[in-house]
Structure 1
Amino acid sequence: MDLRLAAYAVCIEEGRALLARAVRPDGGKTWTLPGGRVEHAEDPFDAVIREVAEETGLEAVVERLLGVDSRVVPAAERRLPGRPALQNVGIFYEVRITGGRLRPEPNGHTAEPAWTPLPDVPGLSRSSLLDIGLALARTAPATGHVAPVPVGGLIEH
């Protein structure tokens, strides 16, 4: 089984969430939160700030830790044929934007970042990570954990 440690930013301002439209390995696109893999020896706190800057062009500061999500993506559901199952451990932070200018990631996997009205999110083709992050921000559970989000329909791994 592959293991991926990732840090994700949840930024909600004026009823809108900062989202990133990721380009999947198969060429499709899906909406998700800004964030991604924690590099070797990198602190997840630093990784989330780096990822926001890379994927959106915006400068962010961490306001608080929201929680941690661990999910297993079965090998048959991965978009990379021939790869084993993946355990993704995601650390979610609430962030605040302090500067920069919204732009796509140069030479990266983010086609477009966008401020999206929260009522529009359920109608988007999106990663389950987006729903997890928004649920953590909305409910602020003391445990830092919310129930798994089932995939299917507009929600994918």
Structure 2
Amino acid sequence: MPGGQVEFGEDPVDAVVRELEEETGLVGVVEELLGVDSRVIPAHEAKRGVPHQNVGVFYGVRVVGGVMRPEANGETAEAVWTPVQEVSGLDRSAVVDVGVGLATQRPASGHLPPVVVGGLVRH
């Protein structure tokens, strides 16, 4: 699931389209807002040892062009389509489960109960 940070002054919808193309080579159009996730990362789990809050905004996107490829700078090793039913068997960030939940459950509130991170790769 492509994702990343919104640049200063960038609209979140534009960020989704930019991140999709940067990470996969695909061009997309945002079709809907799926929901929002917010989680606090305690200092002992954070990469830099400083507590922070992540707010994730999840969108449904339709691919309209491009050619799938890994990210040019090497941060994304591989871009592949994975059937939704196979995602739970992958090493992944907990936010992937949030995205899958929002896309498959379509909660009217746009919000899911906290996802248990358990053994998942966290950040």
TM-score w.r.t. the length of structure 2 is 0.94
Q: Does 1:152 align with 2:122?
A: no
Shift of residue 108, structure 1, vs aligned partner: 4.4
Counterpart of 1:130?
96
Q: Deviations over 1:5-45 (max 9, x none)?
A: xxxxxxxxxxxxxxxxxxxxxxxxxxxx2011000000001
Shift of residue 86, structure 1, vs aligned partner: 1.8
**Cα distance, 1:105–1:50 mapped onto 2, change above 3 Å:** same
Q: Deviations over 1:101-145 (max 9, x none)?
A: 010111142111110122211111110111001111111111110
Look up the equivalent residue of 2:2 and give its one-letter code. Answer: P
Q: CA RMSD in A?
A: 1.2
Inter-partner Cα distance in structure 2 for 1:133 and 1:99: 22
Counterpart of 1:20?
none
Q: What is the DSSP-based 3-state SS (H/G/I as helix, E as strand, rest coil) of the residue aligned with 1:84? A: coil
Shift of residue 154, structure 1, vs aligned partner: 3.5
Q: Would the aligned equivalents of 2:31 and 2:60 in 1 still touch at CA under 8 Å?
A: yes
Superposition misfits of 4+ residues, deviation over 4 angstroms: none
Inter-partner Cα distance in structure 1 for 2:72 and 2:121: 26
| Identity score, percent | 59
Which runs of 5 or more structure 2 residues have no equivalent in the other structure?
A: none
Aligned pair count reads: 123
Which runs of 5 or more structure 1 residues have no equivalent in the other structure?
A: 1-32
More strand by share: 1
